[in-house]
Amino acid sequence: MLKDELIKRFMVTNGEKFRLADFDPGDTVGLDIDKEEARELLAAGTRRLHALQERLYAEGRWAVLIVLQAMDAAGKDGMIEHVMSGINPQGCEVTSFKAPSIVELRHDFLWRTTCALPQRGHIGIFNRSYYEEVLVARVHPEILAKQNLPPSLVKEDIWKDRYDSIRDFERHLARNGTLVLKFFLHVSKGEQRRRLLERIDEPAKNWKFDAGDLAERKRWPDYMNAYEEALAGTATKHAPWYVVPADNKWFSRLLVATAIADKLEELDPQFPRLDEEARAAMHRARAELAGEGNGANGTKRKS
């Protein structure tokens, strides 16, 4: 696993001096390992996550919200598949947010994601999130126009207003027992090009290709600017951003798995302890069950 001091180098808790250019999408912190070693490290990470999630689910006190944001082909779907592979599905929900519906557009921009927040004891994963409203909506002003906001509220500093709303929202979640972890999968433009070509050239990946991705790719500088300002404007101690180098999938998955597990260990969830009355009832139940014998009808099995 990655050491805590290495994880912290990708964590942003104060955006005052944050610059996206300071983070290399190809960074692997000097790790030089082959694919088999990477698989073994990730497997160890998922086992660690499984054990922690079991305690989180049993305790039922904390909720965990994981936000994944990225450009197209940065690896969000693969991240969910590989990092969360060992998680008990009963305690984990994944919600993907596409273009808002007519009903969703009639509410404030946080409404539709609020309805999908995880309950206590659960891990909720947002594949894209309310951050789309300060990213895509910023790059495409026509999306903001469809929200039918009062004209007096659509000001030049509307994005800063939304950052304020997001910070307040995430602070509210933290105060009420939800751990918020946000990951920006930082892929380079060159690596995105390679992966998009892969989707075109490999028949098994054709279904992943969307011609609209090329139109968004042409707005790359606009998106990088929007991401930089959004991360800087919403990074806090109670809801940090992790800028995850995403050019090497094995490293990005390892980093995310380690970051989540580290934060769950800080929560230190525990299996519930029975009080004396419950423990006595359990012992009585055991004695009764033991007295029934091993057979299906209460008779002892013959050897």
For tokens 């290399």, name the residue.
24
pLDDT tens per residue, range 48-67: 999 999 999 999 999 999 99
Domain ranges of the chain: 4-272, 274-303
According to the model, what pLDDT value does residue 136 have? 96
Distance of CA 102 to CAs 146, 147, 247, Å? Answer: 9, 9, 36
Lowest mean pLDDT among 30-34, 166-170, 179-183, 265-269: 30-34
pLDDT tens per residue, range 110-127: 999 999 999 999 999 999
Among 246, 186, 242, 248, smallest CA distance to 33 is for 248
The pLDDT > 90 percentage for the chain reads 84
The pLDDT > 70 percentage for the chain reads 96
Cβ within 8 Å of residue 284, ≥6 positions away: none
C-alpha gyration radius of the chain: 23
According to the model, what pLDDT value does residue 303 have? 47
Q: Give the pLDDT mean for 127-135.
A: 97
Work out the pLDDT band at 8, boundaries 50, 70, 90.
confident
By the 8 A CB rule, do 264 and 51 touch? no
CB atoms within 10 A of CB 4: 10
By the 8 A CB rule, do 8 and 238 touch? no
According to the model, what pLDDT value does residue 1 have? 58
According to the model, what pLDDT value does residue 299 have? 55
pLDDT tens per residue, range 213-237: 899 999 999 999 999 999 999 999 9
Q: Give the pLDDT mean for 69-93.
A: 93
By the 8 A CB rule, do 184 and 70 touch? yes
Architecture in CATH for domain 4-272: 3-Layer(aba) Sandwich (3.40)
Tell me how far the alpha carbon of residue 88 is from its chain's centroid: 16
pLDDT tens per residue, range 159-182: 999 999 999 999 999 999 999 999
